[in-house]
Structure 1
Amino acid sequence: MEITDERLNIEYYFDSANDQTLAYKSDCFVLAIEVLTEQASKSYLAFLQSMEIPYIICGTENLDLNQALTKLKKHFGITAISLAGGAIINGAFLKAHLVDEISLVVSPYVSGDQNIKSAFDTLGIFVDDKFTIKTTKPLGDGGVHLLYVKD
């Protein structure tokens, strides 16, 4: 997940590979905020504290995305996020009904690779959220940027 905080010119990134790490960068340095479940070991929490890396606990066994966003807003002032992950993290936010807009860039390239996931993978869970096109913008390489908003 990429979170943009325009007030501070900081970009935040969620590591969807392990569903727990949120890092951010500002100008020349990179800091990290760990988003963890209660399953995080005491030794790992001690390591984070020794490195002065802030963390928040969001969920018992599975990451609670609603709680994570609430705590990110409360403790870090983050009010908007932009997901820049893959289909599974996008699908997790969709299943939690946390997607308000879809910004989609379609590139004029087809690989035919059946192993590449679509934009959202909800792991078999049906989600009936509806979106309406807001803007379309042709791109210089022949692609198009489509922006949809949730109905």
Structure 2
Amino acid sequence: LAIAPGNPGVIKELTLDDTHQYRLNTGAFLAMDTTASYHMVSQKVSGALFGGTGGFFIMETAGTGTMLVSAYGDIIPIALDGSHEYVIDNSHVVAWDSKLNYNIQPASGVIGFTTGEGLVNRFSGSGTVYIQTRNIEALANLVQPFLPSSKD
């Protein structure tokens, strides 16, 4: 089987079993065994309104087997031991252990759509978060001034 994600980056294999299930950010899912499955679960209201992670629903895995996720750039696992909260830019989050608690909010903690600030995910508990090393939105913003416009 040959598959490729829509963005340039790596594909990571995650094992699903009784103790390892995941939630996925938009665009991260690539493929999975037929012995595994996913379903859509509703997010916390604040996450759905501000997160950009699929709206009111996110993907959550079930079953056993192998799942493939993709990212823009490399994928780095961050193991949380429950001793403190970990804050990650929302656009870098690929997948996280479904046992982790998370909240999505503006980076400053204050709603400010006119400030152009980013959103962050605050994770707590024990488990793993997988992040991507690059940000496709940042690349688009970097390239945008060089694209021709209707004025040109």
What TM-score does the superposition give when structure 2 sets the normalisation length? Answer: 0.21
Q: Greater CA radius of gyration, 1 or 2?
A: 1
Question: Would you tell me which structure has more strand in proportion to its own residues?
Answer: 2
What TM-score does the superposition give when structure 1 sets the normalisation length? Answer: 0.21
Could you say which structure has the greater relative contact order, defined with CA pairs below 8 angstroms and 6 or more residues apart? 2
